[in-house]
Structures are given as structure tokens and as C-alpha cells.
Amino acid sequence: MKIVSLLPSATELVCALGYQENLVGRSHECDWPLGLSDLPVLTKPKMNPMAQAATIDADVRSLVEQGVSVYMLDAERLAELAPDVIVTQSQCELCAVSLGDVEAALQNWMSQQNVSPKLVSLEPMTLNDVMMDIRNLSKALACEPRGEALITEMRVGFENLAKAVSGKKRKSVFFMEWTVPLMGAGNWMPDIISYGGGDVVLGESGRHSPTIDWDDVHTADPDVIIVGPCGFDIARAREELSALTPDSRWQSLRAVQEGEVYIVNGNHFFNRPGPRLLESAQIIGEILNPACVPQLNNAERWQKW
């Protein structure tokens, strides 16, 4: 079986199900687990992903307003690879190649070569949706027992974390998913943070991350601020945050004054709805309840501001 994955979380799921050797193509962002660098890259962004957050936001909004996809898909190379299974997503047009682009490429390819690869589209909005995506993908790969085992492993891990922090005072958490403009955390993030002992403010489970303003943050008055911009590692998140910190609106926040600000690697953990969401929840537990959750002391996962 030949598999192409067009987003990082799907690649991680394919590998967690035991099919890393079956991958024949990937997206430009698929970098985990290690050993994928030699695979053909089938996508690339139309904006500069290394630009500042405000510039990325403006460029993306401009593309969306024009009705243009944010990413390019190498349809010709995809056809050459002739995969049996293609894994993509329809959850967020800003996160990866759109489902429409993939379907258009497939339609042209299928009409020319009389082939019919299986298209698996992931659409996680909540943690339960992530589990359903694992189930659907394992069915497409004909490895349902592996999928159920992975789901069980993750659920047990979440339950054990919840038990470890039970009885401790819960903390209100503002998870900053973008810096300019300010965005809270939605989708599966409130579920993840809840398992670690926190309650999300300025974001709802099952809804896309909301755009907010400073007044919203001050009104919410969170106990803890966690900064994890989508697609950014800790170094880039720290750089973006440093541009906000001179602002009096930032400095006057209670969490800032009490030293309860943390930076996490959103790119490798929280932003990817796959197997490492369990580790993401454990990171929250380490931050909020260090006496209950053993710390791995890995500065690539999270740091205090």
C-alpha cells in the first residue's frame, strides 16, 4: 500500500498505526517522526511562513478573500506517485491543502489513468473527533485493531493525567494561539487543557479559535497565560511574544505580574491533532500542577517566560 499524507498530524497518525514505511509523499510541514526528510514534498505555502505573525495573518487573509488556496499542491508529482491512499483534511483551510484542491487533482488524475485512490479526509474539532479520525484512518488502512489500541492508549493516558491532578485547585488559562491579531484557543484545545487541570478562557471546545482583543483578556483575568502560536516552535513564539511585552496592556495583566506566563511548542504538540495531544495535555499538567505531574525537563517542549 502506498500512502500520501498532506498534513503533519495525519503523518503522525499513519506512523503511529505502523505504516511509516508505506509513506511515499508528504506535505512540506511533515517533520515527525524522524526519517521522513527523503520523501517527496507535494505542497508548499503561497505566503512566507517565516514572516512575522502580523504579516502571515495579512497574507493569508488576502488569499482567502481572493478565494485562493493558501497552499499549492503538486498534482503532477502526486499522480506520478500513484498512491493507494491519500490523507488530507477539511477542518481548516489555513492549516493544509484544501480538500477541494485534492479532489480536483484526483478527478483529473483518475480520468486520465482510470485509477481510484482512497481519499481520507480528517476533520477534528474536539478530542473525541480526533479519536474518530483515528478510527476512520485505521479502517481505511485495514488496521482497525491497531487504531482501537491507539485510541485506548490515549484515553487511558488522559484519564491517568486527570486522576493525577484531581483535587487540585483548577486554574483559568488563556492559551494564546496567535499574537497579531490576538487569538484564543478553540477546537480540541479546551479538552486538552482541562485534562491538565486548567479551564480555558476565550475559547470553546468544538469551535474555531476566536479573534479577541486586550479588553477580552483583561475581563477574563486568567490565572495563567500560555503562548503557543499555531505552527511556531518555542524560539519563534518567544520572538513574537517579545513584541507584545512592552505594551502596558500586557504588563498590567495579573498573570504577567505574578510570573504565570509560559511558552510552549505549539507546532509539534498542541496544533497537531494526533498522538502527541496526550503529551500536550501532560505539558499542561507539568505547568499547572508540577507537584502532581513529573516534569521531563525538556526546554523544547515548554519554557517559563
Q: CB under 8 Å, gap of 24 or more: what pairs does 41-46 form? A: 41/74, 42/4, 42/6, 42/73, 42/74, 42/77, 42/78, 42/81, 43/6, 43/71, 43/72, 43/73, 43/74, 43/96, 43/97, 44/71, 44/72, 45/70, 45/71, 45/72, 46/70, 46/71, 46/72
Query: Which residue matches cell numbers 485512490?
Result: 117
CA 220/CA 259 separation, integer angstroms: 17
Q: Residue 9: which pLDDT band, with cuts at 50, 70 and 90?
A: very high
Give the model's pLDDT for residue 49. Answer: 81
Residues 207 and 281 in one domain: yes
Indicate whether 131 belongs to any domain. Answer: no
Residues 94 and 213 in one domain: no
Residues 110 and 185 in one domain: no
Residues 118 and 229 in one domain: no
Structural domain harbouring 285 = 169-304
Residues 102 and 16 in one domain: yes
Residues 119 and 198 in one domain: no
What is the bridge-based pairing of β-strands 43-45 and 198-200?
A: unpaired
List, for residues 129-153, the tens digit of each pLDDT value. 999 999 999 999 999 999 999 999 9
Residues 196 and 277 in one domain: yes
Give the model's pLDDT for residue 61. Answer: 78
Q: Domain count of the chain?
A: 2
Indicate whether 157 belongs to any domain. Answer: no
Q: Give residue 64's identity as a one-letter amino acid code.
A: V
Q: Residue 114: which pLDDT band, with cuts at 50, 70 and 90?
A: low
How many angstroms separate the Cα of 52 from the Cα of each of 59, 80, 242? 11, 36, 12
**Average pLDDT of the residues in 157-167:** 97
List, for residues 40-79, the tens digit of each pLDDT value. 999 998 888 878 888 888 887 787 676 657 788 998 999 8
Mean of the per-residue pLDDT values for the chain? Answer: 92
Residues 294 and 215 in one domain: yes
Residues 287 and 205 in one domain: yes
Residues 173 and 300 in one domain: yes
Q: Are 37 and 56 in contact (CB under 8 A)?
A: no
CA 153/CA 113 separation, integer angstroms: 41
CA 224/CA 286 separation, integer angstroms: 13
Residues 30 and 100 in one domain: yes
Q: Residue 103: which pLDDT band, with cuts at 50, 70 and 90?
A: confident
Q: In percent, how much of the chain has pLDDT > 70?
A: 94
In CATH, what number is assigned to the domain containing residue 283? 3.40.50.1980
Indicate whether 148 belongs to any domain. Answer: no
Give the model's pLDDT for residue 93. Answer: 65
Least confident of 82-91, 225-234, 247-256: 82-91
The residue with greater pLDDT, 283 or 91, is 283
The residue out of 123, 138, 154 marking a domain boundary is 123
Indicate whether 110 belongs to any domain. Answer: yes
The secondary structure of the chain in percent helix, strand, coil, rounded to multiples of 5, reads: 40, 15, 45
Give the model's pLDDT for residue 273. Answer: 94
Q: Which of 77-86, 89-98, 114-123, 213-222 has the highest mean pLDDT?
A: 213-222
Residues 173 and 289 in one domain: yes
